[in-house]
A = this chain, B = another copy of it.
Amino acid sequence: MTVNLRTPPALAPAPVRPAPVRPALIAGLSAPKGFGDATLRDRRVDAIELLGGIPDPDVLPTSALAEATARVLGRPGVPALQYSRTEGISPLREWIAEREGVAVERVIITNGGFHGLSLAVQAVVERGGLVAVDNPIFPLFLRGLELSAADILPIRVGSAGLDVGELADRLRDGARPAALYTVPDFHNPTQGTLPAVARAELVRLAEQYGFIILADNPYRELWFSGGPESVDAFNSSEHVIHINTFTKTLGPGLRLGWIVVPDRLAKDIVALRSRQDSHSSTLVQAVVGELLTSDPGVFDATLGRARALYLNRARTLVAALERQAPGAFQSVLPGGGLFLWPRLSDDRIDADRLAADSSAEGVEYQRGSFFPSGPGTGAARHLRLAFGHVSEPQLEEAAARLGRALRKQVK
């Protein structure tokens, strides 16, 4: 038998291959569950939702934004519709740098606070690394952390924010996190604010043990009296990424925020970000920059209205809970922000049943059990009630519904 070398044998059709394997990055992302998954429960059409830290549209500068948009779209050559630098446009970065008290080169514009967290995590946490985190914690941060498949080291959060002493103990015991995540001002969910002395000690630990503090500060500007705690300790350290956003002050739908980063990290973060989505919307940056710089008083005037509204709503909710369910909730009037974190006084109350009964009565909130990052918090005995976007009469009604739900368990 001879083989004709000029005519190759007919190729059998290759079998259809299965689709490619999912990359480890994707396979490591958890399925939605609990906090933030709005579709988990059927709701009453008249449900009052105390679910998210949502600013009230009445205190957003809506018409000023529309006017600023018309102005930037009317400029010759319309630069607001063109490409811009990854770091962000200069007028906006300069305004932020002045407010933060840092050099403009350290300010990078983001698509909101969560985007800043995501960039920070990817920039400083090796895959499979260790990150110390608030306990209880803003749960979506743990989802963002899945991008780095990181392990967590939960650190207790009390009424004065992160327990820096516990962190120091864990570091002395040998823990070596790459980063620490905390909300220093008006903590989500526990309301507390980290005092100045603890900020300084936290920064000292970061510098001693070589980790990066991810200071997540979306509620900072929403203080109710006396001004916010200083962030100088954060902004003057090479070991802090300070994350902020216009989400709670000018509107979540803008998707506009910023991070203050150490000089040595700026180039890495810009390199990463330029490979993801190039830069934040030039239009949104130009509109907000125009709003803030064309009328120097507009931001503080907007914040003044917001602070007064949210303080009034916090007071209304605390009082309504006490009136509708006397003694049932241990509430502390928050010093700022958009959340109340009352504790159930009566240990006989089943908190999950209360959430279900409340839903049936027509009030939705985040149950405390969504928030622990580790054991020992007692968070499951709390409720997180978001009051920012809910009118005072609706807050009264929500408290009445909560009271009815409670009375299904105790008379």
Contact = CB atoms under 8 A, between A and B. Distances in A.
Nearest to A282: B253
A170 to B, nearest CB: 13
Contact of A16 (B63, B77, B110, B207): B207
A111 B282 CA distance: 11
A43 interface: no
Contact of A281 (B81, B144, B208, B253): B253
A146 interface: yes
Interface string A236-264: 00110000000000111111100000001
A410 B373 CA distance: 72
Given A62-B81, A69-B66, A255 B271 contact: no
A283 interface: yes
Contacts of A286: 253
A198 interface: no
Contacts of A103: none
A29 B272 contact: yes
Given A16-B207, A29-B272, A82-B54, A277 B60 contact: no
A23 interface: yes
Contacts of A393: none
B210 A18 contact: yes
A135 interface: no
A254 B125 contact: no
A147 interface: yes
Nearest to A21: B126
A129 B124 CA distance: 23
A80 interface: yes
A316 interface: no
* Most central of A57, A112, A253, A276 by chain B CB within 10 Å: A253
Contacts of A77: 57
B57 A81 contact: yes
A41 interface: no
Contacts of A26: 122-123, 268, 271-272
A195 to B, nearest CB: 23
Nearest to A247: B83
A284 interface: yes
A90 interface: no
A259 to B, nearest CB: 12
Interface in A9-27: 11, 13-14, 16-26
Nearest to A209: B17
Contact of A278 (B112, B208, B211, B275): B112
Contact of A62 (B13, B73, B239, B274): B73
A144 B272 CA distance: 9
A201 B210 CA distance: 54
Contacts of A114: 277-278
A73 B25 CA distance: 38
Interface in A76-126: 77-84, 110-112, 114-115, 118, 122-126
A78 B57 CA distance: 6
A21 B178 CA distance: 9
Given A20-B124, A255-B279, A11 B268 contact: no
Contacts of A22: 268
A386 B4 CA distance: 53
A172 interface: yes
Closest CB pairs A-B (n = 10): A17-B210, A253-B282, A81-B251, A115-B277, A111-B277, A81-B253, A255-B281, A57-B78, A23-B126, A66-B73
Given A23-B126, A118-B276, A143-B274, 8 more contacts: A19-B210, A23-B124, A23-B127, A25-B127, A26-B268, A111-B278, A254-B281, A255-B281
5 contacts: A17-B210, A26-B272, A62-B73, A66-B69, A111-B111
